[in-house]
Copies of this chain bind each other. A is one copy, B any other.
């Protein structure tokens, strides 16, 4: 029976640890923050889990917030401009968003109940090799911190060298749910996107507003504005920007009740989308495998990161359970098995961050006119590999549209 070490206790580390524990594989997860610290800390993200991730939660016995009760099943799209577009796309299977300050500690608890070891300590890069000695395989699932240098950036899959959006995500009261309940994806051309997400937090259902702000645009201020300095001014600015740029969400706001749910329920920052090498050979001859953010960090603009990380964890776990060694062949098998979904998510996300090419606008236009195309685009949030097959080139998008609308390409 192999003994697996996992660095990082986010969704990738926990899903992998839980999968291995279901098969009685000895696992230790190393993390620099305890579950209690996470639970009482700052908002971590506003991520939604899509159906394949929820399916994995069910298989792991950790689907603690039943999607039937906590989820939603559509995307409301709003594309601003001179002739705004507004349309809806439906998922075949529901998604849901649970505050990771509830989600991760609950999964860590389940992991420990099932015999997984959780070792809370601050790790540096030089700690990796002793850890590798103690395990048959080291899986690095910690996106932040000292470990990314182990996995060189893949230039061929990393088109950006700086953040393309400056982010401001917070949890709010005073916004009525969209009908039917769903995520609203609102685009303010030249300024950025808003993802409005029905999210379940410690205080119940709230609204996450994830502002994806283009540097230099009118919305960038949201990434810099200090809530602590003047909460009311912060909230007023958010409301003003909503009114100007994201009217479909603004019209559901009750200004008298609108407020951030708490000072820790806000996260501002930015990240550089980066795809790194799948694995590294350590000086002692063993291999370290990268999963989750340390392998592929994507901008949250289309909510693919956590789902991609969970997929990667799942593929890794299946290979650990079925393979006979943790050598380079093992690492290459994992890399090959996840590439389609994980690189699909990264490539698609990176396309959405660029100034929209003509074929993307054509697709949006078709979505507004054809319900089945809007539904398929929405459902492909579950299948980023399929989405990328459609979006990778203008020729592909046009061929796809021709087939779906019955016209010649």
Which positions in A face B, CB cutoff 8 Å?
Answer: 322-325, 327, 329, 333, 336, 339-340, 389-390, 392-393, 395-397, 399-400, 403
Q: Which residue of B lies closest to A322 (CB)?
A: B389
Report how far A329 CA is from B389 CA in the complex, Å. 8
CB distance from A159 to the nearest CB of B (A): 15
Q: A336-B340, A340-B333 are in contact. Are A327 and B389 (CB under 8 A)?
A: no
- A396 and B325 contacting across the interface, CB-CB below 8 Å: yes
Name A324's contact: one of B327, B333, B340, B390 (CB within 8 Å).
Answer: B390
Most buried by B among A324, A336, A389: A324
Residues in chain B near residue A392, CB distance under 8 A = 325, 327, 329
CB distance from A259 to the nearest CB of B (A): 46
Residues in chain B near residue A339, CB distance under 8 A = 336
Name A396's contact: one of B324, B395, B396 (CB within 8 Å).
Answer: B324
Report how far A339 CA is from B337 CA in the complex, Å. 11
Residues in chain B near residue A399, CB distance under 8 A = 324-325
Known: A325-B393, A325-B399. 9 other contacts (CB 8 A): A323-B389, A324-B390, A324-B395, A324-B396, A324-B400, A327-B396, A329-B392, A336-B336, A336-B340
Residues in chain B near residue A336, CB distance under 8 A = 336, 339-340
Q: Which residue of B lies closest to A391 (CB)?
A: B324
Residues in chain B near residue A397, CB distance under 8 A = 324
Q: Which residue of B lies closest to A337 (CB)?
A: B340
Report how far A400 CA is from B325 CA in the complex, Å. 9
Residues in chain B near residue A333, CB distance under 8 A = 340, 389
CB distance from A319 to the nearest CB of B (A): 10
Residues in chain B near residue A389, CB distance under 8 A = 322-324, 329, 333
